[in-house]
Amino acid sequence: MTVRPIVIYGTPVLHNPTELVTEPVSELAELIADMYETMEVAHGVGLAANQIGVNKRIFVYDCPDDEGVFHRGCFINPVLETSDIPLGMPATDGSDEEGCLSLPGLGFPTGRADWAKVTGLNEQGEEVTVEATGFLARCFQHEVGHLDGFVYADVLQGRWKRAAKKAIKREGWTEEGLTWMPGVDPDPFGHDQVEQED
């Protein structure tokens, strides 16, 4: 397994729909293993293939539900269904806060449906369906959004959308080809500092 660089906002692979996987699932084993490893070292709860520069409709996740139970898996060619996305501004109490490894260090309240269902193939080539609520449903919507060519900053509303645009400009993420390397570069979400304190 190899940790791969994570592509930062502004690179076209993040802003265009990914291609359906047509090759045998057995040919994806190395890519999927690298995605799991990269997600783990980056302290992420999900990772889409285009976040490591691979234009394929695949995501992996290792994400807690609202009870703190972790769910781990892979979806190839996922199809997403959701309940209604709430109208209006998302909550500012932290419950709607969302971050992204491709917008390292940033987080903004993001409106999401409370229920989601994903259907697709797993890494063994078996068709699987997972239903989720709360935080896990948020993760599924976030990752499928990546595969559809959207970063969560694209779905922000009002002042949060304006704040994200300013932050992206301030960070210089308006040009393509920028990356960060999990395990090498300082952790943009501060996980390294937490570990050092333990």
Helix (H) or strand (E) holding 139: helix 134-147
Cβ-contact 151, 9 below 8 angstroms:
yes
| pLDDT > 70 in the chain, percent | 95
Confidence of residue 192 (pLDDT cuts 50, 70, 90): low
Average pLDDT of span 85-99: 79
C-alpha pair distances (Å), 11 with each of 1, 14, 40, 106, 176? 24, 6, 23, 17, 4
Q: Is 146 annotated as a binding residue?
A: yes
- Which residues are catalytically annotated? 143
Q: Is 100 annotated as a binding residue?
A: yes
Q: pTM to 2 decimals?
A: 0.92
Confidence of residue 190 (pLDDT cuts 50, 70, 90): confident
Query: Tokens 């791969």 appear where?
Result: 4
Question: Which residue did the predictor score with more confidence, 195 or 8?
Answer: 8
Cβ-contact 123, 98 below 8 angstroms:
no
Give me the pLDDT at residue 124, please.
96
User: What residues form DSSP beta bridges with 46?
Assistant: 61
pLDDT in tens, 111-145: 999 999 999 999 999 999 999 999 999 999 999 99
Give me the pLDDT at residue 92, please.
74
Q: Is 43 annotated as a binding residue?
A: no
195 pLDDT exceeds 80?
A: no
